[in-house]
Amino acid sequence: MDVIKRSGKKESFDGEKIKKAILKAYVDAGESLEDNAQEINKMTMQVSEWARKRGEGVRTGDIKEKILEILDDDEYNVSDAWRNFDRKYKSAGNQIELIT
């Protein structure tokens, strides 16, 4: 399965990149990775399964929105930290793609 980046470039799906993005959000929220390891793994699997069901050509923006949807349901403070990070860098004129 391919992931389509914002630039249009295609890459093979990598669940570890999903996990890294979720981990970063937890760190930014000041949450313990050790205490939340099981939840992080569960979320990573949920997003990976969702992406596989969508088939070929899943966009990184869609993956990001799915991650935030799951975080909104389970860990609102973590999704809020992710959104704050996005706002901070977008307002600075940087275009950072968390899932690369």
| Mean pLDDT in residue range 59-78 | 92
Among 23, 37, 29, 48, CA closest to 98:
23
pLDDT tens, position by position, 34-64: 999 999 999 999 999 999 998 778 999 999 9
Q: What is the pTM of this model?
A: 0.81
Backbone region of residue 57 per phi and psi (left: phi > 0; alpha: psi in -120 to 50; beta: other values) = left
